[in-house]
Structure 1
Amino acid sequence: MGAKWVWGTIILAIASLILSWIFYVPKIASMENDIRGALAGAGYDFANVEMDGNIARLTGEAPSEAFARDAASIAENTECKACKGKRSWHVVDNQLSFTTLPTQSPYTFNAIKDDNGNVVLSGYVASQEQRDAVMAKATSTFDGTVTDRTIKIAMGAPDANWEKVIEKNIDELDLLDSGRFAMENYTNFISGEAASADVRARINQMGANMPEGYEFAANISVPDMAAENVGEVKSATICQTLFDDLNDGKKIFFQTDKAEIRGAESFDLLNTLASAANQCASFRIKVDGHTDNVGDAAYNMSLSEARANTVVAYLNQNDVELSRMTAKGFGETQPSAPNDTEEGRAANRRIVFTVTQSE
């Protein structure tokens, strides 16, 4: 009887070990796959996962200490699908290393595409691997030359989707004949020239599907059609860039020695600027008038201010709130070119727009 009891106990122990192994090993594999999937879904592909019993060991190099902490938190809160709801079945051993990098704020990225399809990139990414991936994406996407002007590695990226958003913007920029995209933290803006309204609609639709938390705005023109503005631009820097781009190569003309706007080109530009001003509704706009040095200095000062006020009045007639704008004349005191040639004097007769923070 004693021998039978001993053998029975041994058999039961062996069976228990076999059964625990049968059910325990799949649970380990499931937990490892579940954590790996959760990290990949959050964009944390830098983290490797290996289970040692119920210990999930994380290894690899994170872009920053914050990313390493976030990865560990995701791993800790992942529920094992094969563990019957026992989320606390596993523990995390966070062995992720991270690089100490300077922190950039605001976190930005920009790309400019010229009429020949050449593209210049600049801005910030979280790692060398991310920089290489962005350059590879741009090189494979654009037909022209891709130039890395100043892509720098720094901490401060809004989240792990930063690279994904850059690549999405690259695909949108590729559809434009020329233009740019600008990113600042969660703000995304694309502007430029599209070949057709269908292309513009396609870009706007792509922008509407940004990852959660990212805001999209666009100002895309089509030949013989007015620009179609989508969304609000919530960066003063990007708004200033928009105004500068819209004014590039164009000018507001006035009657000689008067503050009366003349020419269809001037009104077309002002209409476009009014639309852009409303797209930058969170910011103030300074409208500064300048003249050449021909005539009396006091008269030029008065004329430049009157012209600036005329522009403000026109923008106000096109739904730009008067309280958001200021007008000031500088006369001949701030020339942008020498006044000793007609070309220089023409350059000095100008209206300058400056976007500032709201008070």
Structure 2
Amino acid sequence: MRLSSLLIIVVTFSVAAVLALVTANLSVQLIEENSEIGVRDALDDEGMTWAEVQADGLQVTLAGIAPTEAVRFAALSTAGRIVDAARVIDDMQVEAAAAIAPPRFSAELLRNDAGLSIIGLIPAATDRTAVIDRITAIAGDTPVTDLIEVADYPAPDGWTDALGFALAAMERLPRAKVSVEAGRVSIRAITDSAEEKTRLEAQLNRAAPPGLRMALDIAAPRPVITPFTLRLVKDEAGTRFDACSADSETARTRIVSAAFAAGLTGPGLCTVGMGVPSPTWSVAVEQAIGALDTLGAGSITFSDADITLIAAEGTPQADFDRVVGELENALPPVFALYAKLPETVDPNQGPPEFVATLSPEGLVQLRGRISDQNLRSLVQSYAQAAFGSDSVYVATRIVDDLPGDWPVRVLTGLESLAQLSNGAVTVTPDTLKVSGNTGNPKASTNIASLLASKLGEAEEFDIRVTYQEKLDPVAALPTPDECEAEIAGILAASKITFEPGSATIDASALGTMDDIAEVLRACGDIRLEIQGHTDSQGREEMNLNLSQARAQSVLNELRARRVLTSTYSAKGYGEVDPIAENDTEEGREANRRIEFKLIRPTPSAPERETTLETLAGNGDTDPATEDSAEGQGDDEQN
């Protein structure tokens, strides 16, 4: 009985223990599921879908890769709101931070009459002290503002060439803003004249390093024209402008159209400038040109608001009076008209005259009549100062009864002659005639302004000056393409040859080098690559080194001939660019060559890659080491 009771008690306790264990397991499983689901839902609501949640008993483990440390902490905080923070196990990682990108290096240079400043961020590899020293030298006596910062990152490709070009360009631009980036330079500048603008654009485009993208915006203000001058001549040779000035593009169009209607056959050049005496300038000019056309021949000259109309000799008096009267009544206020009808001169009477001639060689002869010894000495001294002491021959004669303004007329004539390359000046009591050739496209305008201001608005003068491009020191320069073609022609007639297996130029080719040097001196500073090429015989590396050494040897020979080579580079191409087959001796001979190729900047759309001495520090290519011990193929050739 006792045993049976004891057995019942044991069984009862066992069943209770089993039931408690089952209940505990179910409770733990329920807590795990609820904790995992609650934390997962909370993280999803916060947008942290990257996090992984796993419950193990009462502990909740968070795993996954958090974008940042702050996000990882936020995930822990979110989980801690659902379950006890002590139960949260952090097994999360943080995404590795990307390497810090190097900064964008750039610099901006500003220069005006108040000084020069530079601001920007440059690489530590750039010699900051050298940059500031150069800027100080450029600024001269004006102050320098240094706002440069330095970052210890490698200099990007193209940075050194761009900065060097910008600094050298700034030397030529007294009023400019130059922006520098790696491989790119942007220049905005103001010049004093259109000629200076053209010259600077040509210099900068020629001197830009290879591969540099350049944006040029050079402005030239309108010139101040004093006096505001216009002169139109209509004679047996046709209708032409000796000088033309306008105050606006609209006025220029109106004036040129009136001139074409009067028979103008030339280009119709007219300078737009400042200094017009009246806003009705183009109206007055148009009326005066129409009056001259009605008369049929003569000249019309404007000097500010003074107008001189000279009719052709033989014009009927009635026609002259009618046209002049109509013009006087039609002219806008301010303008004053002086009209003259020359008297017919007896051809048997020769007026006194002074004649000065300038030969193409620069020799000057002074002949004719002079009023006294003082004027003769003055004329001789002026001519020697203008043309050179050894270039003046004087054969003047002192006579009496010359007009009182004779000294002014003679000296003004000489001053006009000084603007010509060759020609003559003839001075008489009634007129002053200037004729000849010039390389200055504005010489005719300058002479007309000079005569109008020195002789007076009522005086008659005749200007027959012809512009010739070959006399223009700027326009006469050959273009880079012409230079390249001329050198190619020289090489086609006579190659540059070398001693066998070396980079020494053969003595027979020195004459060719002389011819090329002469062409390059006339071409000025153009960007050239001197290319060396070989045939395919021998090892490729040996051929490459030999071609480099030969190209450098040609560059050195040009330097020895005093050719400015700062914009040249030497580069060997070895056997990679043949122009003929290498399986014949004739083909190999053609492939062994030196070529001169223009280096053309790469334009950046839509900017215009517009294009003397090099403005950037792009040094010449170092010569490659010769391999003379293992020369095969080229070693046995020129």
Fold-level match, TM-score > 0.5? Answer: no
For the pair shown, which has the larger CA radius of gyration, 1 or 2?
2
Question: TM-score, length-normalised on structure 2?
Answer: 0.25
Question: TM-score, length-normalised on structure 1?
Answer: 0.42
